[in-house]
Structure 1
Amino acid sequence: MTDDPSTSSGTGVSDVTRRVEALLFVVEEPQSLVSLAAAVGAPVPAVRQAIEALVEDYDGRAGGPRRGFELREVGGGWRLYVRAEHDDLIADFVNTQAPSRLSQAALETLAVIAYKQPVTRGQVASIRAVNVDSVVRTLLARGLITEAFTDPDTGAIHYGTTDALLVNLGINSLDDLPRIAPLLDDGADGFDAEAVR
């Protein structure tokens, strides 16, 4: 008797399910069934079945324990989230584990989000002209930014700042942030100098 290559020996978990699960642990944006299917090289119906199996497993309906995280469909895609009842625990843990200083890249990214919010990670990356994935993860972990909403058409997550940022900056609202224009050289001095000559 030959083993079914689509299942792991003795567990009945399909190879597609394992591969989808592995991807879901590292993605930051919700992934559609089509994009997951393309990534794991499997047909969409097999990926749909894998998602259903994972949801049942994580919710404890497959005979195992209910997990501290869940698989949710958001904005037409799937992503892992911590269950709401553990939000306080995670926030406390992250805040005690976080180092006290932010890197220059994190400060620049935070400034872009603060002034441009709500803004997507792609927009921030375009403004800064660098990849900001890890910096956004750090700012989320610190509780300085949050996922404001997900665009229903593109699935892109829009980020905004949190009250924790206001507390850290010692301001009451974002209106208290300094205006950008007065901090930038508008080039008027150069024009005045040319006019004098």
Structure 2
Amino acid sequence: MKSAVEALLFASGNPLTVDRLKGIFDDVPKEQIEEQIASLRREYDARLSGVMIADVAGGYQVVTRPDLAPWIRKFRTVKVSTRLSRPALETLAIIAYKQPITRTEVEAIRGVNIGGIVRNLMERRLVKIVGKKDVPGKPMMYGTSVDFLQYFGLKDLSALPTLKEFTELEAGEDILEETAGQGPDATDTGHDEGSAPAALSEVAEAT
């Protein structure tokens, strides 16, 4: 069974939850599935494997180890089209930390129109509509998606660096770039260096 769990985690392009795996293995208890995953993790660690099983978006996924990212970057060519622009990353950071938040509220922080940027983030499935604000006009409220967690390799939103942690870092340190480097696709973060601090600074000042 352990080999089957490993094969499924490897073959899946997305994180697999224990519930999803249980549906495949029928009557196998969740505890047994979790033990197989824990056993695989121990085996990977024991042999200093180049891959690991990461907690991503509420599930499990086989990913390359973050410390091997420099070697993989040499092997792969990151397409410019997959990268988020600085304005997009700044907008995404604000939504991530202030969600649920309306477009007008984001624009008040950034000081520019973000209509096109929000559409782009929604097309990439990093941002989604999470409801309507109970004020005149009922504006849409936005939040991050499961794809956002997977993109940055986060188990859940609690794994985001806090604003206090950010302010204690040296100027110019790219938090989201660092976070993404620990995720499932550490070799293809799709970020422009130096863009996250500006976004988080704006959020911190507005908080």
TM normalised by structure 1 equals: 0.44
Larger radius of gyration: 1
Task: Give the structure, 1 or 2, with the largest relative contact order (CA under 8 Å, sep 6 or more).
Answer: 2
What TM-score does the superposition give when structure 2 sets the normalisation length?
Answer: 0.42
